[in-house]
Structure 1
C-alpha cells in the first residue's frame, strides 16, 4: 500500500505508537534489561573472580561471606523485580499498548473504501497488520532493551578482560561475520517464508471459521460441501508445509554454519588460549583464569546478541512495514479532511453521468447514470440481479467512489461533506448482518447508554412489527442475539432477522431511507404490511427502494429500470406498465 521505508524509520514509527499508549513503558523495559545484564556480569564474573582470588591467596573467610551475601541479596532483588515485571506489569501494560495499536488498525479498516474488501491483496495486508500488531511491538521493545543491556554488560566485561589480557577480545569479535552476513540472510528467509504463506494461512483460517460458525451449520450437515472445504484446507496446509520445507533447508544450513563458528572458533579457541596462558606460560592467576573464561563467553554472548538484535531490527522492520503501510494508506473517500463541510438538510440529490467499475474489471458496473431525487420522493430501483442497483446505493451512501461523473447534494459534490453525510441515511441492505450483541445494540447499531435508548428500541421494534421477537427474551431488549456468548441468547429465523434489521430504520433519525430487498424473507402478507407501515412512518422522508416485486413499487413516485449497468426505462408504475417494456 506504500513505498518501503527504512528499517530505522519503521522502528521509530512503532516506538512512537507505543509511546502514545504508555510513555513510560519503553524506559521501564530498558532499565530492567540493563540492571539484569550488568548484575549478571557482577554475579558470574566479578564475584567468582573475587572468591577464587580469596581462596588462592588464603584471605579471611569473612570476605567470602560478605561477597556471597551481597551477591545473593542482589540476586533476590533481581528476581523480585523480574517477578513483578513478568507477572504483574506486563499483564497490565501490554494489553493497553496492544489495544491502542489494534484499535488504530480497526479504525483504519473502517475508513478504507468498501471496494478494497473485494481485493484479496487488501485482505492479506489487513490480516498481516492484525496478526503483527502485538508480536512486532513487543519484539521491538525487547530488542531495544536487549541492545542497551548488551552494551552495558559488554562494557562491564571489557573492563575485566582489558585488565587481564586484552588479546582475548579477538575471540569475541569473530561472531560479527555471522551477524552481518548470515544473520541478515536468515532473517530475510524467515520473512519471505511468512509472506509466501499468508494467503494459505488465511485460507485455512477461513475453513476453520466455517466449521465453528453457526450460520454454516445447515449446509455442512445436508450437503457434501464439507469435503470440498476440507480439500481446500488440506491443499493450503500442504502448501504451507511445502513452503516451510523450501525455506527451512536454507535456514538450517545457515544455522549450522553459525553454530560451527561459535562453538569451534570462539568458545573452544578461547578456552585453549586462556588455558595455555595459565598452564604453560603461568602468566595469569587462578582467579583471572576463571574470570577470563566467563568473561569471554559473556562478551561473546553480548556481542552476538547485540548484532543479532540489530539484524532483528531489519527483520522486524519488514513486518512493521505491513502495519505501517496499512495505517498510512490514504482512502479515496475522506470524511475528515480540512476541506470537508458539515451537512445541511436534504433538499435534492442529483446523480449526473455517473459510471463505476472495479479496478480490474473490463466492463463498467454502472455507466452514465442520471437520476434526480427530491425531498420526500419515493424512488424504486428495479432490475435483474447484477444490474447495478446495489452498487448505485453504495455510491449514493459513499461506500464506493464513482469512477466518473458526480453525485451532488443540494448542488454540492457529496465528496465535500464530512462524516455527517452518512448519518442522513437509514439503510438496510439485502445482505444485512446480525451481530452477537444485545437486541438493543442490534437495533440502535450503537451503544445503549440509558433507558431512553431502550425505549427507543422498544418503539422501533413495535413500528417494525417485531415486538414478538422479545417473547422469549429473558432480559428484554438487553438479551443477547445468538448463543455464541450467552446460553440464554435468542436465535432468530430468517424472517425474524429481517424484521430486526428493518427496525433499525425506525430507530434512526434520518432524512433518507434506503431499503435493498428488505422483504425477501417475508411472506406476501407480511411484505404488504411492512410497506404500508414503512410508508406511513417515512411520510415526509425520501425513500429509495430496491425490489423485484411489483407490489412494493406501485406506490413509488419514480421507478428506474436498470439493465447491465444502464437505466433503460423510467417513470411511475402506471406509465411503465402502459409502455409494455422491460418493467
Structure 2
C-alpha cells in the first residue's frame, strides 16, 4: 500500500508549528543535542582511562581525572534532564495534535451524508481512520526525528573513531552492511504481512468482541454458540500465527546473521587494537573508546530497525486518517440545527420521479416515486420488509439524495443549500433509534437541545408515552443515568427505550413529523395507547407514518402501499379494502391482533 510520507510530515509539522512553535523548536534542538551525547561519553571515557593510566607517572593527573569524572557526571545529568524534558514536550505537542485531528475527524464524521455508510469502500476507509484516531498522532514525526537523531549519533561516533584510526570506521561500516541489509528485507516482509493481513486482523478483533460483548451474550448462551465462535476465532488465530511466525523466523535469521557479522568485525577490530597497543600506536583509552563505540553502533543499528517498523506503522495509521479527511467523494452536509434560524413552514412536499439505489447496487431500491404531501395531512406508508419504506424515509429527511428525480419543498428544489433550513422544520422517530447512555432528560432533549431545561415539557412527553410513572420511581427522576455500564445506571426494557425515543421525536416544534416503525417493540394494546396519545399531541402537524403494522393506519388521510420500491396502491382505508389488493390482504392478516381493542381504535383522532 502506497503511503504519502511527505504529506504526513508536512501536515504534522504545519499543525505543530501553528499550535506550539516554541516547543517544536526546543524539541528538535534537544534531539540534536542528545544525539551527540553518546560520542561525548565515549570521548570522555577514552581520556578518563588514559588519565588514570598516567597517575603513576604524573601526580598532576589526579586533578585531570577528577575534572573528567565531574564533567562525565554532569553530562549524564544533562542527558537525563534533556530526555525528561523532551518527553514532556512530546506529550504536550501530542495532546495538541491529538485534539486538533480528533476534532477534525469528529466534524467530518458528523457531517457525512448517510449514504456513505452504505458504500463498502468508503465505509472501510472510515473504519480505518476511526482506528487510527486512537493512536498517538505525533508518532510519525517523533519516529522520524528519532531516526535522524540515531543517524547523527552514528555519524558522530564514526567521526570520533576516524580521529583515532582512519580505517576502523570502514571495517565497522562494511561489517554492519549485511545486518542492515537483512534488517531492511525483514522489515519489508513485516510490512507486507501487516498490509496483507489487515482483513484477518479485523476479523480476529470482531470475533473477540463478539465473544465478550454484552449485546451478543444472550444468544451465545441461548443457542450454545460459545464453542462455535471460539473455534472460529481460534482457527483464524492459528492461521494468523503461522504467517506471523514464518515472518518472525525470517527476521530472526537476519538478526542472527547481523549479529555474527558485527561480532566478527568486533573481534577483528579488537585484534587490530591489541596490536596497536603493543606497538604503542594506540593507548588503552583508545582501545576502550573504540570497543565501546563498536557496541554502541550495534545498538544504534538495532534502534534503526525498530524505528523503521514503528515509523511505517505510525505513518500508515495517520495516512489513513488523512485519506479519509481529504476524501471528497461525498459532500459534507450540515448537522447542527442551531446554525440555521430559519424555521421553514412546510406547505407542500413533492417527490417527482424519485429513484434511489445504494452504492454498488445494480437495482434501484426506490423506483420512480411520485408523491405529494400537503400541510396537515396524515400519511401512512406501509409495505412488507424490503419494500423500500425506510429508504423513502431517509430521502424525505434529506439523509439520502435521490439517484434520479427530485424533491421539492414549497415548490423549491431541495438542495444542500436549503437542507439545513428544511431540517429545522422536521422531526423523526426512527425504527433503529439510538440508546444514549445519558440521563433520561438528555435522552429526550437531544431531539431539541434548546428544551433541555424545560422539565415540565419533558415530564409531559414522558407521561404521554406512558413512561413517567416508571421514571418517578427512580431516585433522581428524569436526571437518572441510563446504562448498566455506569454506577447507579438504570437499564430500560426494549419497549421502554422505544417509548423514550418517541418522546425524543415529539419534543421538537416541527412542522413535519416522520415516524418509522415507532411501536415495533410494543404489544398491540400498548401500541394503540401510545399512538392515540401520539396523534392527540400532534394533530396540527403534517405526519408521515411508516409501518407494516396496521392498527392506527386505517385512520390516515391517505395510505401509500409500497412493494419492491414501487407505489402499488394509494387511497384511504375504505378505498384500499375495496381494491382487494396488497393492503386488503395485509389488513385481514393482522386484524385479529386488534379485535380486542376496537374501542381504543375508535378513540384515535387524526
TM bin, normalised by shorter chain, reads: 0.7 to 0.9
**Distance in 2 (alpha carbons) for counterparts of 1:246 and 1:360:** 37
CA contact (8 A) 1:179 1:304 kept: no
**Distance in 1 (alpha carbons) for counterparts of 2:171 and 2:454:** 73
Shift of 1:560: 1.1
CA contact (8 A) 2:182 2:258 kept: yes
> What is residue 12 of structure 1 aligned with on the other side?
10
Q: Deviations over 1:197-230 (max 9, x none)?
A: 3333333333333344433333233222334332
Q: Which has the larger radius of gyration?
A: 2
- TM-score norm. by structure 1 comes to 0.87
CA contact (8 A) 2:442 2:452 kept: no
- Equivalent residue of 1:137, what SS? coil
> What is residue 53 of structure 1 aligned with on the other side?
50
CA contact (8 A) 1:441 1:447 kept: no
- Equivalent residue of 1:408, what SS? strand
Residues 447 and 409 of structure 1: CA distance in aligned 2, closer, same or farther (over 3 Å): closer
> What is residue 598 of structure 2 aligned with on the other side?
none
**Distance in 2 (alpha carbons) for counterparts of 1:179 and 1:102:** 40
> What is residue 326 of structure 2 aligned with on the other side?
328
> What is residue 574 of structure 2 aligned with on the other side?
574
Residues 238 and 165 of structure 1: CA distance in aligned 2, closer, same or farther (over 3 Å): same
> What is residue 38 of structure 1 aligned with on the other side?
36
**Distance in 2 (alpha carbons) for counterparts of 1:153 and 1:549:** 75
Shift of 1:367: 1.2
**Distance in 2 (alpha carbons) for counterparts of 1:571 and 1:159:** 91
> What is residue 405 of structure 1 aligned with on the other side?
405
Q: Which moved more, 1:525-534 or 1:178-187?
A: 178-187
Shift of 1:529: 2.7
Residues 136 and 483 of structure 1: CA distance in aligned 2, closer, same or farther (over 3 Å): closer
CA contact (8 A) 1:378 1:543 kept: yes
5+ residue gaps, structure 1, are none
- Aligned CA-pair RMSD: 3.4
Total equivalences in the alignment: 574
- Equivalent residue of 1:259, what SS? helix
CA contact (8 A) 2:39 2:153 kept: yes
Residues 130 and 369 of structure 1: CA distance in aligned 2, closer, same or farther (over 3 Å): same
> What is residue 537 of structure 1 aligned with on the other side?
537
**Distance in 2 (alpha carbons) for counterparts of 1:453 and 1:33:** 56
> What is residue 553 of structure 2 aligned with on the other side?
553
Shift of 1:572: 2.2
For 1:414-433, list aligned pairs within 5 A.
414-433=415-434
**Distance in 2 (alpha carbons) for counterparts of 1:361 and 1:90:** 47
> What is residue 149 of structure 1 aligned with on the other side?
149
Shift of 1:172: 4.1
- TM-score norm. by structure 2 comes to 0.84
Residues 489 and 406 of structure 1: CA distance in aligned 2, closer, same or farther (over 3 Å): same
- Equivalent residue of 1:373, what SS? strand
> What is residue 164 of structure 2 aligned with on the other side?
164
For 1:103-502, list aligned pairs within 5 A.
103-118=103-118, 121-122=121-122, 124-135=124-135, 137-154=137-154, 156-174=156-174, 177=177, 181-265=181-265, 267-279=266-278, 281-298=279-296, 302=300, 305=303, 309=307, 313=311, 316-335=314-333, 344-410=344-410, 411-445=412-446, 452-486=453-487, 488-502=488-502
Shift of 1:295: 3.5
5+ residue gaps, structure 2, are 584-606
Shift of 1:24: 5.0
CA contact (8 A) 1:10 1:317 kept: yes
**Distance in 2 (alpha carbons) for counterparts of 1:179 and 1:231:** 40
Q: Deviations over 1:136-190 (max 9, x none)?
A: 6343232233234235434543552333223222134337746885444333322
**Distance in 2 (alpha carbons) for counterparts of 1:345 and 1:273:** 93
CA contact (8 A) 1:30 1:146 kept: no
